[in-house]
A = this chain, B = another copy of it.
Amino acid sequence: MPEITRIEPGKRMSNAVVHGGLVYLSGVVGTPEGDVTSQTREIVAEIDRLLALAGSDKTRVLRAQIWLSDIRTFDEMNAVWDSWVIPGQAPARATGEARLYSPECKVEIIITAVQK
């Protein structure tokens, strides 16, 4: 039976789950007080942290799904995203508008990656 490894497991969700070499992150959000730029910066830093714990990194991301509470902040989010992604190693991606559990949460990113 293949092993499932849960990273920072909680009673509601685990921050990451690893199975068969694949890394499934929970949706990552930033600090509610921040604007889209600062929240997105926090999010990619947290993604880097979780991927490291899971034995992966941003060059090994297969797919990202991005939710914005206001789709008109697309360019603002992308400015941070574009500076985070390594050219030639960008994942598949989709971005849509979705309000999040806190009205102050403006961005959420869901990552699927593969271990090194």
Q: What sequence of 0s and 1s flags, for each residue 18-29 of chain A, a beta carbon within 8 Å of any chain B beta carbon?
A: 011110111100
**Would you call A98 an interface residue if the criterion is a C-beta within 8 Å of the partner chain's C-beta atoms?**
yes
Q: Quick one: which of A14, A64, A94 has the most chain B CB within 10 A?
A: A94
Q: How far is the CA of A65 from the CA of B11 in the complex (A)?
A: 16
**Would you call A112 an interface residue if the criterion is a C-beta within 8 Å of the partner chain's C-beta atoms?**
yes
Residue of B nearest to A114 (CB): B19
Beta-carbon contacts under 8 Å, A77-107 to B: 78, 81-82, 85, 87-101
Number of chain A interface residues as a range: 35 or more
Q: Are A71 and B20 in contact (CB under 8 A)?
A: no
New A-B contacts (10) at CB < 8 Å, excluding given A2-B114, A11-B85, A96-B99: A4-B60, A9-B90, A12-B82, A13-B93, A17-B91, A17-B92, A26-B93, A27-B95, A67-B94, A71-B99
Q: What are 8 sample pairs from A and B whose C-beta atoms fall under 8 A apart?
A: A4-B89, A9-B90, A11-B87, A12-B90, A14-B91, A17-B91, A19-B114, A67-B94
